Amino acid sequence: MDFTSFLIQILNALQYGLLLFLVASGLTLVFGIMGIINLAHGSFYMIGAYLAFALSSLTGNLMLAIVLGIPLAFGFGALLERLLFVHLYKRDHLQQVLLTYGLILIFEELRSLTVGDDVHGVAIPELFSASIALSENLSYPVYRLVISVVCIALAAGLWWLMQRTRLGMMIRAGSFNREMVQSLGVNIDMLYRTVFALGVALAALAGMLAAPISSVYPGMGGNVLIISFVVVVIGGIGSVWGALVAALLVGFADTFGTVLMPDLAGLAVYLLMAVVLLWRPEGIFRKG
């Protein structure tokens, strides 16, 4: 492998890892703060991708679709929390698994009923449709770089939100002691709803960003869900920072695993997880 194609693989690994981070960060926050295992989290990614498809065919512009899609996803998440997830906080993990598994079936069938089971493509916005030439016959699409940059900005924003704002402080406090935060006068129900909706919006945004490169297809949520689980297991539940490191590790393992041992593509990520489990069963950055 020469240097240029090596560079391309590194950029691909970064882009894939960062996108995974968007999905996994919401998952790990909802785990860490509310103690909820949410199997339907992959469905939010799928819903985001289909939103991008529907809204961009409606408006003719992916960027406009994303701007419209984020508040929609956030509102959808808040509604879902109010109607269903609020009943799960006091239930055991088994019932959380059950209910969210039921939700996956519902979301997949609603997708099938409204959009159908075909694979759809989503056009890259004209502004970013160019490619950067790296050598005579190798080039790198600008859009993938844009994804990476957006994800890095979001990761920085998330860090700022969690560490430097009053909301972030309340979220962190709420993850330690729900009753104490409540007795200090914080509306914990609203706090949980915000965190949940934020997680949904992040997963949906990842789906919207990925739609032009992965295309939009049935079952796309399931794969992302399981890989995000691997990310959360490696990073440690509840740690956003851990999710970032783990997502990048998984991105690299998957990309270079495919390049170096094509026969075992898809296995590299799970081997990485197995090694981390032997080394640190609670993940690399387990809190508390």
Partner 1 sequence: MNSGVVTLFKLAVLAGLMLFPAIGSSFYVELVAKILVMAIFAMSLALLVGFTGLVSLGHAAYFGIAAYTVALIAPEYEAANLWFVLAASVLAAGAAAFFVGLFVLRTKGIYFIMVTLAFAQMAYYIFHDTALGRSSDGIYLNVKPDASLFGWTPFSLDDPAQLYYFILAAMAAVFVLLSFVLRSPFGRVLAGIHSNEHRMKSLGYATFRYKLAAFTLAGALAGVAGFLYAVLFGFVTPEYLSWHQSGNVLLMVILGGLGSLAGAVAGAFAFIGLQEMFSDWTKHWQLLMGLVIVAAVLFMPTGLAGLPRRIFRTVNWGEDDE
Angle (CA) 107-230-147 rounded to 5° is: 70
Between 159 and 270, name the residue whose CB sits nearer to partner 1.
Answer: 270
Give the shortest CB-143-to-partner 1 separation in angstroms. Answer: 28
Burial zone of 109 (CB within 10 Å; 0-12 exposed, 13-18 middle, 19+ buried): exposed
Quick one: tokens of 281? 């069963």
Give the shortest CB-156-to-partner 1 separation in angstroms. Answer: 27
| CA distances for 159 relative to 16, 90, 162, 187, 265, angstroms | 20, 29, 5, 22, 33
Q: In whole angstroms, what is the distance from residue 254 CA to residue 86 CA? A: 36
Backbone angles phi, psi at 162, to 5 degrees: -75, -35
Q: In whole angstroms, what is the distance from residue 240 CA to residue 162 CA? A: 9
Give the shortest CB-1-to-partner 1 separation in angstroms. Answer: 22
Given a contact cutoff of 8 angstroms between Cβ atoms, the answer to whether 197 and 71 are in contact is no
Between 56 and 255, name the residue whose CB sits nearer to partner 1.
Answer: 255
Given a contact cutoff of 8 angstroms between Cβ atoms, the answer to whether 243 and 232 are in contact is yes
Q: In whole angstroms, what is the distance from residue 78 CA to residue 72 CA? A: 10
Between 143 and 196, name the residue whose CB sits nearer to partner 1.
Answer: 196
Between 35 and 168, name the residue whose CB sits nearer to partner 1.
Answer: 35
Q: In whole angstroms, what is the distance from residue 57 CA to residue 232 CA? A: 34
Q: In whole angstroms, what is the distance from residue 51 CA to residue 65 CA? A: 8
Between 56 and 100, name the residue whose CB sits nearer to partner 1.
Answer: 100
**Where does this chain bind partner 1 (CB under 8 A)?**
31, 35, 37, 39, 84, 87, 91, 93-95, 97-99, 101-106, 108-110, 112-113, 222, 226, 229-230, 232-233, 237, 263-267, 270, 273-274, 277-278, 281-283
State the maximum Cα–Cα separation within the chain, in Å, rounded to a whole number: 65
Between 104 and 204, name the residue whose CB sits nearer to partner 1.
Answer: 104
Give the shortest CB-107-to-partner 1 separation in angstroms. Answer: 8
Between 69 and 238, name the residue whose CB sits nearer to partner 1.
Answer: 238
SS3 category, 141: strand
Between 27 and 210, name the residue whose CB sits nearer to partner 1.
Answer: 27
Give the shortest CB-91-to-partner 1 separation in angstroms. Answer: 7
Give the shortest CB-270-to-partner 1 separation in angstroms. Answer: 4
